[in-house]
Amino acid sequence: MRVAIGTDHAGFVLKAVVVDQVRAMGHEPVDFGTWGMEPVDYPDFIAPAARAVASGDCERAIVLGGSGTGEAIVANKVRGVRCVEATDPVLARLGRLHNDCNALSMGGRIVGTEVARACVEAFLSTEFEGGRHVPRLGKIAALEDEECAAGDRAD
């Protein structure tokens, strides 16, 4: 599986841990940056990672920042991306199991390396449960369609 990785400067240190865990699980990390500790604007790196999932170039994304919140917001703005912000592996697992999340967000100032590894493990190894959750995903997709249509009418 190809996994898009996007981070800002505050998540940069955690990125190495995440990339190592993705590789250890037999997957291919695709690095969308950033590549250093110099302050950057996180949407510039998170949006391309999320778009790689939306386009099908990558199956999943992991986005990192200081808290993970802004990164999750950006990823969730990309049509077809469902990003879970996780501070523990239970949230990462449930995001996949119940919401078929295809992106995981974590904060480098919030989670430590062992928790991050466990979140990545849970996120990449859990399959969507389907069943009663499928109609909910349809409703989420319908909301995206409504918002896109409303945006078209606003011009």
Quote the DSSP letter at residue 102.
-
Rounded to an integer, what distance in angstroms lies between the CA atom of residue 19 and that of residue 62? Answer: 9
The residues annotated with a catalytic role in the active site are 71, 98
Quote the DSSP letter at residue 109.
T
Angstrom CA distances, 133 to 56, 78, 81, 128, 140, stand at 22, 21, 16, 9, 11
